[in-house]
Amino acid sequence: MSGKAKASQSLVAQENRRAAFRGELSKWFKINGRDLPWRRTHDPYAILVSEAMLQQTQVITVIPYYLRWLARFPTFPSLAAAKEADVLHAWQGLGYYARARNLHKAAQYVVANFSGKLTCGLDAGLLPGVGEYTCGAIASFAFDEPAAAVDANIARVLARLMNLRDPIDTAAGKARLRVFATLLLPAGSGGRLHNSSLMELGALVCIARAPKCGICPVQAYCAAGDPGSLPVKRPRPKTVRAIEDCAWIVRNDKVVLELQRERRLGGLWKLPPLKGAPSGLPILETKYTFTHHRVTLRVHRQAAPNRLDLNQSWFNRSKRSAVAMPSPHRRAMEELAARSFAKPATMTV
């Protein structure tokens, strides 16, 4: 058995080594941890907002959205009272709009069942759209409870520490990670510092590609012989390519948009789908991705119909800026609007 394997076994088996591990890690974090806005608060609402935004989104992108969101919806009651259209508009640009809807529903639940305020991590587990990870994050970051919160960064760190060869995106792999994460927790309190330290280690040192093992503060506890090969994941699904043909229908300074009803984009406005087969080249073509799809968005000029569909409406310049739209469609609309409604240059003599 290698020295690293022995180190890992003893980390699992002996509490004094786990305590030493936590001590080395937290000491490193206090010196190297980033000053992020959600680390300056223990407000469970602000923590929930940050965790929702950070899913599938990079920190640098989230920060301005997080600050604007809290300025507009500073509490559970203020978010609960907002219209869904306003919530989606504030979220646009972050994608995965189900996160915004779940935040809205969670706020309404807190107002209806907890008088607008969470008082412990256990309550967070009852909120709509709050899963095991987010519940643990709220419990630890807001209330300092010793709760496991295994996000992508922590999963990677734990998989390397224990040299886990099970795919971490399977039920068996997730279960082993959670057991190990729970084992490493401090007793009584201290969950905030511990989970923050693990996350930061994964974000700054134990990174996905080319981990910086030479500067890792807890390298002595790591069982991975080849850290760069971990964590193991199931094969990614093949990219599905799709074409989305939409219509550019304008009149004076107005554009036709269509309200979406389906689950993924419900409540958002898009350029309406093209009716009939395309004739000629599109006036704009762009590409975007979501999950494992790669979509080519093609926009074609189309004459205004005598009557719009029930879920369609005309929008002038001021109204267009106020509606919530998926980013690819907003970018396309703004580019085409700039072309279509540009005032002709004034000739000087």
**What residues act catalytically?**
51
- 202 pairs with which residues across the strands? none
Tokens 């996905």 sit on residue: 208
Report the distance separating Cα 82 and Cα 145, nearest Å: 31
Instruction: Report residue 47 as tokens.
Output: 């923590």
State the residue for tokens 């995965």: 96
